[in-house]
Structure 1
């Protein structure tokens, strides 16, 4: 198991959702939701729910491959955790793009690479907006 990862089976009744902060050449990938209707048109860091038995890193890499069609490597968890709803907690991880160009395959209809001065140019989902100070720090390196 990677340092800093938690096996999902060890989380008592809390399911983890992981958002991937993919940075490339000083820019971060943002994805615009097209479903469900209540969040359609808003932006997020792509990712998804961890399955039982997966580490957070494994879940993130699987979800990004499914949603964007590209292999990635989870690097490190960013500070903070957000309750999406009771029993569902959101964590963000930095991730490295290993190959290819991401495409919006599932749950998204547009992708954008944003620089540190463009982070406020999209309408982020509330939890994703809260992690932006950490993302800006990654971009400014």
Structure 2
């Protein structure tokens, strides 16, 4: 099974989300596939550099992975920005959410359990 990493960038009591456009779109934690020979943390750093043009420091895992499909499993990590300002290179929008603004229904289904786990820990 291919692992996909998502990154919950947390800063100043809020979390960064990226909007995936299209009919199946919604808010998600940005990230992507772990490449062969790469750790999940290394993939998170690379993907966020590619997608948001920022450098991050990866922190704790937000718990057990969630199946996206028969081929993919999502793991989400907490992180903080160490250099740069986020730019939406692959998403239609970026937005910072405070804990009270995290409505799971606006998020893609695989990301929702991580939203629940993260909300009390922002």
TM-score band, normalised by shorter chain: over 0.9
* Alignment match of 1:51 (pick from 27, 32, 35): 35
Deviations 1:11-57 (A, max 9, x none): xxx110001000000000010013xx4423x1100000000000000
Determine if contact 2:104/2:112 at 8 Å carries over to the other structure: no
Q: Distance in 1 between matches of 2:52 and 2:70?
A: 28
Task: Please state whether the residue corresponding to 1:98 is helix, strand or coil.
Answer: strand
- Provide the aligned length of Structure 1 versus Structure 2: 122
Q: Any conservation in 1 of the 2:9–2:79 contact (CA below 8 Å)?
A: yes
2:88 counterpart SS class: coil
Map Cα deviations across residues 47-92 of structure 1 (whole Å, 9 max, x no partner). Answer: 0000000000000000000000000111111112111111211101
Q: Which runs of 5+ in 2 are unaligned?
A: none
**Does the CA-based 8 Å contact 1:21-1:95 persist in structure 2?**
yes
Contact 1:44 1:125 in 2 (8 A): yes
Looking at structure 2, the residues matched to 121 and 48 of structure 1 have their Cα atoms a distance apart, in angstroms, of 20
Report the more deviating stretch, 61-70 or 76-85: 76-85
What pairs up with 1:119-134 in 2 under 5 angstroms? 119-120=102-103, 123-134=106-117
Give the distance between the partners of 1:29 and 1:83, measured in 2 at CA: 22
2:11 pairs with one of 8, 19, 24:
24
* Divergent runs of 4+, >2 A: 37-40
3-state DSSP of counterpart to 2:87: coil
- CA distance in 1 between counterparts of 2:13 and 2:4 reads 25
Bigger fraction of residues in strand: 2
Ranges in structure 1 where 5+ consecutive residues have no aligned partner: 1-13
1:122 CA drift (Å)? 6.8
